[in-house]
Structure 1
Amino acid sequence: MAHALRLPEIPQKATFQRIQQRLEKSGVWEHLLGLWLRRYFQQAGLIVVRGWWPLPSVKNRGRIAVENCAFFPGVRLECVEGASITIGNGTYLNRNTEIVAYQRVSIGRDCKIARDVLIMDTDQHPLPNGDLDRAPVTIGNDVWIGARAIILKGVTIGDHAVIGAGSVVTRDIPARAIAAGVPARILRHT
């Protein structure tokens, strides 16, 4: 009597999920995704991608320089030719944050940017003469930006400022100010 050939079991979906969970718990996956993301930047420190899906998206024809920072799923960076994006040390960009640079967007160090924030230095549509209206955006150090805030072209936000959730920032915000609203206005200085 011949013995039946026994084939190894095919791993089930649960096996992949266990591997994924182990990678996430160990922190290895966050660093591997960070290494993958670095290839899109001209200059990059340690980048950690916290989360699994959707992966951050980068369209870079300009210059993007990123120091040690964390990206969450769905972050999108778009930098056209001749433009630049700089992101300082210790800054984190939460889920679905979008940064669009047609000239320059500069974010300082230790900034906390909540989910679904939009930062853009242009109206992103041409004027009747074919030109884009653009102006640089500068965000200082240790700035907190609340969820779903929008930072528009030509804005400078000073160090240690706080921008409330859902705000639309159309004018400069001084250092140590708390601003909120549509359009954002200064509520108080700290």
Structure 2
Amino acid sequence: MLFLQKTIAKLLNSKLVLNNPYLNIGAIKSKINELKIKKCIEQVTIGEKSKFYEQAEVINLQKNCEKICIGKNSHIRGGLQVFEQNGKINIGDFCYVGENTKIWSALSIEIGNQVLISHNVNIHDNISHPLHSDMRFKDYKRILGIENYEPKTFDLNSKKITIKDKAWIGFNSIILKGVTIGEGAIVGAGSVVTKDVPDWTIVAGNPAKIIREIPENER
């Protein structure tokens, strides 16, 4: 799909197309974006008034729409992926997922209501490939289509991620497996979160550490 998109983009920006007075470039690009958005929507369960944008991408390797559920009034510009082995992504109401953000699940990622996730954020509930080098190489060959292996034989050491209501995840942050982000918590830009974040606290750094609590009058 990515190769096709790049090929189409290259064609649209070529002199052959740009200098052709009989082609409506804007209409062609608009149609391509509509098809991309439609493909995203077809792979998820989506609530009323929620929206995917042209930058969004959905990879549902289980081909089960119930494995990626989005509530009402949420806006998605990033990428959502559930693995063949397992995986489920739930995103609540009035959430935002920024451009180039990747949310990858091989077990479970639960995102509450009114959660803002900025651009270039990575949220992974697994390690993506087996730790053992031989198994990792087998998995790599499976992904390339060179050899056929059952994905469930690979242990991705998955642990559930929970992001509670009203949390805010700053750009370029990384949320690792097994972490819970508390209600109303703020993760500073560029942070790497390896441990739970309490409700109504601000964390930052690599690894992320508590900067301060958020008082009642700032919540």
Same fold flag (TM > 0.5): yes
Q: Which has the higher helix share?
A: 2
Contact 1:33 / 1:48 at 8 angstroms: preserved in 2? no
Q: What is the CA distance between 1:59 and its match in structure 2?
A: 2.9
Q: Tell me, yes or no, if structure 1 residue 16 matches structure 2 residue 40.
A: no
Q: In the alignment, what sits opposite 2:114?
A: 110
Q: In the alignment, what sits opposite 2:175?
A: 151
Map 1:31-110 → 2, pairs under 5 A: 35-41=38-44, 43-45=45-47, 46-50=49-53, 52=54, 54-61=55-62, 63-68=67-72, 69-72=74-77, 75-81=78-84, 82-110=86-114
Q: What is the CA distance between 1:33 and its match in structure 2?
A: 6.1
Contact 1:161 / 1:173 at 8 angstroms: preserved in 2? yes
Q: Percent identity?
A: 34
Q: What is the CA distance between 1:131 and its match in structure 2?
A: 2.2
Q: Tell me, yes or no, if structure 1 residue 181 matches structure 2 residue 215.
A: no
TM-score (norm 1): 0.78
**1:33/1:90 Cα in 2 relative to 1: closer, same or farther (>3 Å)?**
farther
C-alpha RMSD over aligned residues: 2.4
Q: What is the CA distance between 1:83 and its match in structure 2?
A: 1.7
TM-score (norm 2): 0.68
Q: What is the CA distance between 1:58 and its match in structure 2?
A: 2.3
Q: Which runs of 5+ in 2 are unaligned?
A: 1-19, 136-153, 215-219
AA paired with 1:70? H
Contact 2:56 / 2:99 at 8 angstroms: preserved in 1? no
Q: What is the CA distance between 1:35 and its match in structure 2?
A: 4.8
Q: What is the CA distance between 1:37 and its match in structure 2?
A: 2.2
Task: Give the 3-state SS of the residue equivalent to 2:103 in structure 1.
Answer: strand
CA–CA distance in structure 2, aligned partners of residues 90 and 57 of structure 1: 19
Q: What is the CA distance between 1:71 and its match in structure 2?
A: 1.3
Q: Tell me, yes or no, if structure 1 residue 171 matches structure 2 residue 183.
A: no
Q: Which runs of 5+ in 1 are unaligned?
A: 1-9, 24-28
Q: What is the CA distance between 1:132 and its match in structure 2?
A: 2.0
> Rg larger in 1 or in 2?
1
AA paired with 1:49? F
Q: In the alignment, what sits opposite 1:3?
A: none
Q: What is the CA distance between 1:55 and its match in structure 2?
A: 4.3
CA–CA distance in structure 2, aligned partners of residues 94 and 71 of structure 1: 7
Runs of 4+ in 1 over 4 A off after TM superposition: 10-13, 32-36
CA–CA distance in structure 1, aligned partners of residues 58 and 207 of structure 2: 29
Q: Which has the higher strand share?
A: 1
